[in-house]
A = this chain, B = another copy of it.
């Protein structure tokens, strides 16, 4: 299951994509619009900034804004950045150590096929696809 972190991250991105793309938007505004605790969003938006998805500016008039156009963000990168790997099983995650059963594992092909499906779904889906005027 996708946790609140990934889901809220997506809502932050959608919220920003719906605002003036040039202006820095304070987190306070996002939190109020989305009805989510600003404190909690701080943790999440930090990941988005560190991951290079958002630009931030401190001080009065500061806030956050997108670094690219909405159609240039995939939902997959947003979720993976905040949520960790999309891999459905531990042995298929990036940092996974070699599974000794891999060659004999009858379920591995299933998990691989599933992992591909999930990856393609979320990486082909763009932030711009989630915004309606």
Q: Is the interface of A mostly helix, strand, loop or mixed?
A: helix
Taking the nearest CB of chain B, how far is it from the CB of A114, in angstroms? 6
Copies of this chain, complex-wide, total 2
Q: Are A106 and B121 interface neighbours, CB within 8 A? A: no
Which residues from chain B contact A7 at a C-beta distance below 8 Å?
A: 89, 107
Give chain A interface residues in 11-26, CB to chain B under 8 Å.
11, 14
Q: Are B75 and A110 interface neighbours, CB within 8 A? A: yes
> Which residue of the partner chain B has the closest CB to A15?
B106
Number of interface residues of A (CB under 8 A): 29
Which residues from chain B contact A122 at a C-beta distance below 8 Å?
A: 114
Q: 10 smallest A-B Cβ distances: which pairs?
A: A2-B88, A14-B106, A106-B130, A2-B89, A10-B107, A117-B121, A1-B88, A110-B130, A114-B121, A107-B130
**Residues on A close to B: CB < 8 A?**
1-2, 7, 10-11, 14, 35, 75, 87-90, 101, 106-107, 109-111, 113-114, 117-118, 121-122, 125, 129-132
* Known contacts A1-B89, A2-B88; 18 further A-B pairs (Cβ under 8 A): A1-B90, A2-B89, A7-B89, A11-B106, A11-B107, A14-B107, A35-B101, A75-B110, A106-B130, A106-B131, A106-B132, A107-B130, A109-B130, A110-B129, A110-B130, A113-B121, A114-B122, A117-B117
22 A-B contacts (beta carbon < 8 Å)? A1-B87, A1-B89, A1-B90, A2-B88, A2-B111, A7-B89, A7-B107, A11-B107, A14-B107, A35-B101, A75-B110, A106-B130, A106-B132, A110-B125, A110-B129, A110-B130, A113-B121, A114-B121, A114-B122, A117-B117, A117-B121, A118-B118
